[in-house]
Amino acid sequence: MPTAPPTRAVQPQVEEPGRPVPPPSRHTDAAEPPPQAGDLICGRCGSGNVPTRRYCRRCGASLADAPVVPRPPWWRRLFRRRPRPQPVAGERPPRRQWRRPRFVLPLLVLCVLVAVGYAFRGETGRVVEAVRDRISKTEQMHAVKVTASSAGKQHPAALAVDGTTDKYWTPALPGSVQGEYLEAAFAEPVRLLDLVVHPGSSPVAEKFLTQARPSTVLITVTSKDGRTTVRTVRLADVPGGQRFHVAVSDAVRVRLTVQGAYGAGEGRYLALAEVEFFRRR
């Protein structure tokens, strides 16, 4: 019966004294997760370490001069894929399930904000204008053209915007009140904020009561695009200016239509001493 050849013993390799030991090669363990942002990278084995460590968890080398993994830019973090769980040996791999991308939720929120802003764009514009009206100063402006439904020979429409309150506009006929109007036009579109109306024929009480005074006035403001803003105001039967806030953008014309009057009667004229216009500076 043939005999097996004798086995040859493997002798350990002898290290020469003074010869440097080569550093361990960088690991390529696929099961170990890659370094994360902020980790310290070992310069000897390339392992990632948490920032609180002073020595490498794998090879024990000092981390005093170890570089830090930089944080990726926001767009790369947004579109970064989530790691898939690795199946355990001997188990059936899990079924692949659909996962919502990370950017879907921010995109949906952005779309909702855009849709809400578009739906309420008009209301938002009005709020912005209202805030600007409050923090801005006003200045008086003057009409370049004034017309009226009718006017007396001694009391033309221009006297209602001449800067004085001792002269006044009246319709052509006494007793005429309902539907009589005064219209002023501006040289350019303005942000009209306030109107000051001086009813009657004089700021002096004795002369104020000698003619009829407007009690209800319909204010119609026309913008440069043809849109109109209408407001009805009630005047007190007292001499002096009475201020009304209208707040209309791009105003080019203002019409004051009389709806009612104090002291109207036969032989008495409707009197309007002055109308002042104020815009946003």
The pLDDT, as a whole number, for residue 115 is 75
Considering the entire predicted model, what is its pTM? 0.58
Total Cβ atoms within 10 A of residue 197: 21
The pLDDT, as a whole number, for residue 73 is 80
- CA nearest neighbour of 157 among 178, 188, 141, 180: 180
pLDDT means over runs of 10, the chain (281 residues): 52 50 52 80 89 90 90 69 61 62 74 72 70 87 96 95 94 92 97 96 93 96 97 96 95 97 93 96 87
The pLDDT, as a whole number, for residue 15 is 47
The pLDDT, as a whole number, for residue 245 is 94
The pLDDT, as a whole number, for residue 221 is 98
CB 36 within 8 A of CB 43: no
Total Cβ atoms within 10 A of residue 39: 18
CA trace torsion 183, 186, 191, 192 (10° rounding)? -30
The pLDDT, as a whole number, for residue 14 is 47
